């Protein structure tokens, strides 16, 4: 199916991966971080525009679908504002002003699950009310990457909006289990630099026995260790040994990208620190692909057009 889309707060293009796999053509992207933008350009043959606050909405090309994983910052600001209707000065406001001007048929937004409960639910209520005031029919759901064939527990709120008020949409939930074996490299090909020191590995193993192999061991802030046949959510700013494969080594950048559903054809052009941050910030490709596919199908008339799969 052919459609055009824009990719806001584009990062390394989790949305781009999903939308282009479904036949979409990206007509505009924006990303303020120079390293993420460099990775985006190397992979998608287009250099994202920088700071989204600096572009007038009429300058953005027309598009069918707006995609945006907006940073968490705006909702903490929305929460602090007096009068919940004032969203000016937030990055969510940038999405609103573009929707208002361009009126795409569909939008899909992503954010952390905590948006649902932030400020007793009032922040999300404000966001939904604002989107509905632009004449969209809006749906939201918390989805877990684990249910979409990725071995990563990553729960995110997805908000989908349709200009067509007659649309009948429901979020997919395929409960597809993915295996860690498909993500992990064989230890013998992993560079030594990814292995924790003998001292750290021994300390971990003295404190924890895993029921699973392979497993990702997770140490929380309180020092408790747990392990599962899947990873806990990758985080952009996590400490170095927060996740360890079998209690012994860190994930490689390629493994992190696989945990987010990026294909091995994705070129890694930045250093490990940047790629780890980029992977931790990304949206799981499989989740967006499934939601977008469902949303595009929900929009189509009953007959006549080929459905994407």
Restricted to residues 198-227, the positions that interact with ligand SAM (CB under 6 A) are none
Residue 147 lies near ligand SAM (rule: CB under 6 A): no
Q: Which residue has the tokens 């999405």?
A: 95
Residue 9 lies near ligand SAM (rule: CB under 6 A): yes
Residue 143 lies near ligand SAM (rule: CB under 6 A): no
Kindly report the backbone phi and psi dihedral angles of residue 251, in degrees, each rounded to the nearest multiple of 5, phi listed first.
-70, 145
Looking at beta carbons only, is 5 or 217 nearer to ligand SAM? 5
207's CB contacts (< 8 A; 6+ apart) are 225
288's CB contacts (< 8 A; 6+ apart) are 14, 15, 17, 18, 19, 67, 108, 110, 158
- CA Rg value for the chain: 20
Minimum Å gap between C-beta 9 and ligand SAM is 3
Looking at beta carbons only, is 15 or 217 nearer to ligand SAM? 15
Residue 11 lies near ligand SAM (rule: CB under 6 A): yes
Minimum Å gap between C-beta 5 and ligand SAM is 13
Restricted to residues 22-41, the positions that interact with ligand SAM (CB under 6 A) are 30-33, 36
Looking at beta carbons only, is 246 or 260 nearer to ligand SAM? 260
Q: Is residue 293 annotated as a catalytic residue, yes or no?
A: no
Kindly report the backbone phi and psi dihedral angles of residue 257, in degrees, each rounded to the nearest multiple of 5, phi listed first.
-65, -40
Looking at beta carbons only, is 10 or 99 nearer to ligand SAM? 10
Residue 256 lies near ligand SAM (rule: CB under 6 A): no
- 6, 12, 290, 291: which one contacts ligand SAM (CB under 6 A)? 12
Q: Tell me which residue has its CB nearest to ligand SAM.
A: 11
Judged by CB under 6 A, the stretch of 9-17, 142-150, 243-251, 298-306 that binds ligand SAM is 9-17
Structure tokens that stand for 142 in this block: 């918390």
The rounded Cα 307 to chain-centroid distance in angstroms is 24
- 66, 109, 243, 283: which one contacts ligand SAM (CB under 6 A)? 283
Looking at beta carbons only, is 7 or 219 nearer to ligand SAM? 7
- Sign of the dihedral through C-alpha 32, 36, 37, 38: positive
Restricted to residues 111-130, the positions that interact with ligand SAM (CB under 6 A) are none
The rounded Cα 50 to chain-centroid distance in angstroms is 19
Smallest CA-to-CA distance from 89 within 73, 101, 113 is with: 73
What number of chain residues touch ligand SAM (CB under 6 A)? 21
Restricted to residues 46-75, the positions that interact with ligand SAM (CB under 6 A) are 51-53, 69, 71
Minimum Å gap between C-beta 89 and ligand SAM is 12
Query: Is the distance from CB of 280 to CB of 272 less than 8 angstroms?
Result: no
Residues with a catalytic annotation lie at: 72
User: Where along the sequence are the contacts to ligand SAM (CB under 6 A)?
Assistant: 9-15, 30-33, 36, 51-53, 69, 71, 91, 281-283
């Amino acid at each position: 199916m052919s459609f055009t889309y824009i990719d806001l707060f584009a990062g390394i293009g989790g949305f781009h991966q999903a939308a282009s796999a479904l036949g979409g053509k990206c007509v505009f992207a924006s990303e303020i971080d120079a390293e993420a933008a460099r990775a985006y350009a190397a992979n998608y043959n287009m250099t994202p525009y920088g700071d989204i606050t600096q572009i007038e909405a009429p300058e953005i090309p027309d598009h069918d679908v707006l995609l945006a994983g907006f940073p968490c910052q705006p909702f903490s600001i929305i929460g602090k504002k007096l009068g919940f209707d004032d969203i000016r000065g937030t990055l969510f406001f940038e999405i609103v002003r573009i929707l208002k001007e361009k009126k795409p048929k569909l939008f899909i937004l992503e954010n952390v699950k905590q948006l649902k409960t932030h400020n007793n639910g009032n922040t999300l209520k404000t966001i939904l009310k604002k989107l509905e005031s632009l004449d969209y029919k809006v749906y939201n759901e918390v989805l877990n990457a684990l249910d979409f064939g990725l071995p990563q527990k990553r729960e995110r709120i997805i908000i989908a909006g349709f200009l067509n008020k007659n649309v009948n949409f429901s979020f997919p939930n395929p409960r597809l289990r993915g295996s860690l074996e498909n993500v992990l490299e064989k230890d013998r090909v992993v560079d030594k630099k990814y292995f924790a020191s003998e001292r750290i590995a021994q300390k971990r193993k003295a404190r924890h026995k895993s029921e699973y192999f392979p497993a990702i061991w997770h140490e929380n802030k309180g020092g408790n260790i747990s392990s599962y046949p899947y990873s806990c959510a990758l985080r952009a700013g996590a400490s170095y040994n927060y996740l360890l494969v079998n209690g012994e080594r860190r994930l490689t950048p390629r493994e992190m990208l696989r945990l987010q559903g990026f294909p091995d054809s994705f070129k890694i052009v930045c250093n490990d620190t940047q790629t780890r941050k980029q992977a931790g910030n990304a949206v799981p490709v499989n989740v967006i692909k499934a939601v977008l596919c469902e949303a595009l199908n929900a929009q189509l008339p009953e007959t006549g057009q080929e459905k994407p799969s």
